[in-house]
């Protein structure tokens, strides 16, 4: 979404973390954070504080060695945290392979935290983790306290470096040979530990610290070509129509372009449909993820999971090839978990979707010709029209928004999760306007024969539609408020067509 950002992935120090870190580096993260068991919020359960995770030293040493052995260390910055207190901790972490070091709890203590472990209760006695004015008035800290503390940490680290004969941290990063296991005969249990594997690693000439500014993907993605071809639209707002072949290795198509629109035009975006991208083939995961205002993506083919994830604007339309001999509403065209967390925009799919369609949908409008289990799960806003069958557990956790479901078999009530929602037949004029308007737009963009059949025989199909909404919306004036939020946008979409 934002190629200018650096991506940090946080991993827990545990056995096998090096293998995970290698995969993260291959996935083009810029920073890998190894987090040890000693840190953590004061709101953590005592059992987690005492027993969860391993020391950062073990996780960091394994990560460093695996990255070096696979010649990946030069591509990423390694960071670590989890109970850092002193300059000595920083120096040891550097020798084990870290270039950056996180201080959390100790910095809070420097400004007066008393470790009351009430962070989650809004009763912090010194007002650090509280919104109560009477407690915030007791806050004893000042910025100078933190400055003084870190100045002492830095001074101790400088003294240790000087004692070893080094001037900069770069000279000691990854130098495990400078460490040795302490001999403590007075601690018999400690003497049983063998930590030689942490300090006897030979890099064999491979880099032992980060040598490049970013860990960017070397090959050009489809979105890089789209951005280049849509230069007129991005620079001057001139409408463009582009065509490409797409394969399932092309993931998040449209996302980087959307990020470029957001970077240049901020919250306003571009006028709807300024950049129209026509795709043919089988799209990989997350087609149109985080799609932004000004983009329209039309796919003739099929798509994998997470279509429209997090989309905030624009339009997505999917339809089978013109030569397809099957009925669209009887076949799957998109995968699972589509519209996950979407906050705006429209999705039209001439075919069925997999499970969890519209999960956490928070404002998008969609028309689809059938869904699997758990449709509209945790939905909090938006409108979903389903012109076909649904799976079980429909509407679980749905707290807002509207769904319209065509129930030709008469079994939809038995598939509903009634905990938060209720159903009734569609009969209000404004419900009909929203429903028919979205189906018309569905037909405009996808040419859906299913949609055409329903509109042509509306008198027969209207009584078969259920309206799904939260209980409170069904019993109060809520439905009218929800409908009013969506009518104008549906009218505008039809006007674009």
Is the per-residue pLDDT at 490 higher than 90? no
Q: Could you give the maximum distance between any two Cα atoms of the chain, in Å?
A: 90
User: Is the separation of the CB atoms in 67 and 78 below 8 Å?
Assistant: yes
CA dihedral 374, 377, 381, 387 (to 10 degrees): 0
Q: What is d(CA 265, CA 253) in angstroms, rounded to the nearest whole number?
A: 20
What does the CA dihedral 239, 244, 249, 251 come to, rounded to 10 degrees?
A: 10
pLDDT of residue 49: 75
Closest CA to 17 of 6, 25, 7: 25
Question: φ and ψ at 441, to 5 degrees?
Answer: -65, -35
User: What does pLDDT average to over the chain?
Assistant: 93
Is there a contact between 287 and 280 (Cβ–Cβ < 8 Å)? no
Beta strands across the sheet bearing 100-102: 8-12, 31-35, 77-81, 100-102
User: Between the CA atoms of 13, 15, 20 and 21, what dihedral angle is there, to the nearest 10 degrees?
Assistant: 50
Confidence of residue 486 (pLDDT cuts 50, 70, 90): confident
pLDDT at 42: 65
Return the closest-CA partner of residue 88 out of 57, 47, 48.
57
pLDDT at 368: 98
Rounded distance between C-alpha atoms, residue 365 and residue 381, angstroms: 9
Tell me the per-residue pLDDT of 442-464, one tens digit each, with 9 for 90 and over: 999 999 999 999 999 999 999 99
Q: Encoding tokens for residue 476?
A: 């109060």
Cβ neighbour number for residue 379 with a 10 Å cutoff: 32
pLDDT score, position 479: 59
Segment 76-124, tens digit of pLDDT: 999 999 889 999 999 999 999 999 999 988 999 999 998 888 888 999 9
SS (H, E, C) 350-412: CCECCCCCCCCCEEEEEEECCCCCCCCCCCCEEEEEECCCCCCCECCCCCCCEEEEECCCCCH
The whole-number pLDDT of residue 53 equals: 81
Tell me the pTM: 0.83
Which pLDDT score, from 0 to 100, does residue 51 have?
A: 78
CA atoms within 13 A on the CB side of 389: 13
- pLDDT at res. 475: 63
Mean pLDDT lowest among 55-64, 245-254, 475-484: 475-484
pLDDT at 40: 67
On the question of pLDDT at 496 being above 70, the answer is no
């Amino acid at each position: 979404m934002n190629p200018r950002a650096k991506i940090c992935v946080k991993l827990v120090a545990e056995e096998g973390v090096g293998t995970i870190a290698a995969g993260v580096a291959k996935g083009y993260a810029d920073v890998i954070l190894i987090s040890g068991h000693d840190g953590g919020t004061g709101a953590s359960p005592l059992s987690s504080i005492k027993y969860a995770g391993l020391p950062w030293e073990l996780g960091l040493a394994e990560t460093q060695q695996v990255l070096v052995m696979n010649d990946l260390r030069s591509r990423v910055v390694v960071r670590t945290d989890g109970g850092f207190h002193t300059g000595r901790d920083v120096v040891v972490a550097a020798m084990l392979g870290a270039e950056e070091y996180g201080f959390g709890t100790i910095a809070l203590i420097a400004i007066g935290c008393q470790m009351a472990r009430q962070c989650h209760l809004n009763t912090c006695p010194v007002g650090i983790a509280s919104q109560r004015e009477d407690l915030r008035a007791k806050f004893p800290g000042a910025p100078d306290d933190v400055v003084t503390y870190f100045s002492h940490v830095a001074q101790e680290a400088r003294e240790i470096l000087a004692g070893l004969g080094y001037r900069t941290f770069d000279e000691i990063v990854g130098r495990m040979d400078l460490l040795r296991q302490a001999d403590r005969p007075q601690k018999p249990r400690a003497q049983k530990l063998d930590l030689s594997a942490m300090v006897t690693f030979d890099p064999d000439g491979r880099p032992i610290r980060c040598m490049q500014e970013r860990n960017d993907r070397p090959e050009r993605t489809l979105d890089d070509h789209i951005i280049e071809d849509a230069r007129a639209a991005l620079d001057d707002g001139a409408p463009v129509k582009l065509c490409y072949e797409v394969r399932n290795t092309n993931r998040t198509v449209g996302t980087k372009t959307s990020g470029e629109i957001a970077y240049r035009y901020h919250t306003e975006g571009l006028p709807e449909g300024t950049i129209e991208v026509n795709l043919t083939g089988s799209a990989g995961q997350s087609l149109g993820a985080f799609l932004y205002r000004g983009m329209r993506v039309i796919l003739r083919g099929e798509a994998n999971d997470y279509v429209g994830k997090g989309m905030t604007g624009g339009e997505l339309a999917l339809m089978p090839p013109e030569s397809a001999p099957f009925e669209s509403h009887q076949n799957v065209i998109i995968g699972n978990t589509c519209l996950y967390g979407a906050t705006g925009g429209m999705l039209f799919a001439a075919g069925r979707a997999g499970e969890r369609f519209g999960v956490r949908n928070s404002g998008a409008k969609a028309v689809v010709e059938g869904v699997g289990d758990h449709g509209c799960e945790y939905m909090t806003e938006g409108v979903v029209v389903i012109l076909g069958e649904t799976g079980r557990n429909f509407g679980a956790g749905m707290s807002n928004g509207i769904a319209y479901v065509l129930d030709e078999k008469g079994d939809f009530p038995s598939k509903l999760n009634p905990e938060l929602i209720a159903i009734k037949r569609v009969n209000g004029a404004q419900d009909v306007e929203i429903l028919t308007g979205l189906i018309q737009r569905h037909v405009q963009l996808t040419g859906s024969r299913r949609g055409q059949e329903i509109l042509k025989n509306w008198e027969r199909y209207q009584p078969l539609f259920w309206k799904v909404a939260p209980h409170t919306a069904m019993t109060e004036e809520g439905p009218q408020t929800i409908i009013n939020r969506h009518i104008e946008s549906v009218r505008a979409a039809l006007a674009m067509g």
